[in-house]
Amino acid sequence: MFRHILAATAVATVTVPTAAHQDRFAGVEIETQEIAPGVAVLFGAGGNIGVSYGDDGTILVDDQYAPLTDKIVAAAMALDDDPIRFVFNTHYHGDHTGGNENLGEGGTLIMAHDNVRARLAAALEEGDSDGGLPVITFSDGVTFHWNGDEIHVMHVHHAHTDGDSIVHWRGANVVHMGDTFFNKVTWPYIDLKAGGSIEGVIATAKRVLDHSNADTRIIPGHGPLATRADLQAYHDMLIAIRDGVKAGIDAGESLEQVQSRDLTQPYDTQEGFITGAKFVEAVYKSLTGETDYSPR
Ligand SMILES: [Zn+2]
Ligand SMILES: [Zn+2]
């Protein structure tokens, strides 16, 4: 409640930042792509949202930002008008969990790995509502028997963060990889401060490759829907850059020396949220055990 009073005050007295903040989402449209019977992905602003829909109700995998909740709910309802029963968070970052409080207050049960709840709880300030925290947590995995499919959730260790999960629709042959997979729109973000590591990201890509085939459709955390071939290219890029950075470290090179070798040059990944140089920095620090890293 206190936070809402503060927000109302801010509208009255500091109009420019508030207007700018709202403008950021005002023009965002939620685009729906159906992938398989009962499975879709929603693209908007923030992490891609997986949807299971059908007679049992709707599950959302991630929920982007709070100002988009109404649009996200409308897009989900257009697929199936049963209530949103669960929201599953692939990890704790705000571009994947920002809608939690709105959905939780509306009666949706929020689920995530234990470390997602712990990190979201640690970020709460005095007076904040705890309505956005996951109410069901797990350590290794959980399975939804839902909408005629088996939706298997696996925790993957120290990948993008220390609380990542990948979500596998076994029947529909669809996988949501959260931010362990950035498909072409940016270099990977590895949150070293939150327990991420390059080896964990590589292991996650390998694990999904081992459980997929040419027909598998893969929802990345960011970027367009992917095939196994796209994930294979991503995996091979990760290995090549990890090996290049490691060779530099073994030769006694500084981070700047390794960055000057343009290891990312052969790839068509965009310089998005994370630049190639910033990704090389993350790999270097992950391999040397440093955690002092921020994306900007
Ligand atoms: Zn993200
Ligand atoms: Zn993330």
The full DSSP string for 217-258 is EEE-SBSS-EEHHHHHHHHHHHHHHHHHHHHHHHTT--HHHH
**123-157 pLDDT, tens digit each:** 999 999 999 999 999 999 999 999 999 999 999 99
170 forms bridges with which residues in the sheet? none
Complete domains list, the chain, with CATH: 31-288 (3.60.15.10)
pLDDT score recorded for residue 20: 56
Strands 226-227 and 217-219: antiparallel
Does pLDDT of 12 surpass 60? no
Q: What is the model's pLDDT at position 23?
A: 79
pLDDT over threshold 60, residue 3: no
Q: How confident is the model at residue 22 (pLDDT cuts 50, 70, 90)?
A: low
194-247 pLDDT, tens digit each: 999 999 999 999 999 999 999 999 999 999 999 999 999 999 999 999 999 999
Residue 1: pLDDT above 70? no
What local confidence, expressed as pLDDT, does residue 21 receive? 61
Q: What sign does the CA torsion over 137, 141, 142, 146 have?
A: positive
In 3D space, the residue among 115, 268, 93, 104 whose CA is nearest the CA of residue 186 turns out to be 268
Q: What is the pTM of this model?
A: 0.92
The enclosing H or E element of 120 equals helix 114-123
What pLDDT is recorded for position 134? 98
Q: For residue 10, what pLDDT is reported?
A: 37
Cα dihedral 51, 106, 144, 111 sign: positive
For residue 19, pLDDT beyond 60: no
* Ligand sitting nearest the alpha carbon of 164: 2
Q: From the CA of 91, how far away is ligand 2's center (Å)?
A: 7
CB-based neighbours (< 5 A) of ligand 2, an ion: 93, 179
Report the pLDDT averaged over residues 247-252.
98
236 alpha carbon, distance to own chain's centre: 21
Quote the ligand 2 centre to 12 CA distance (angstroms): 33
Between the CA of 133 and the centroid of ligand 2 the distance, in Å, is 17
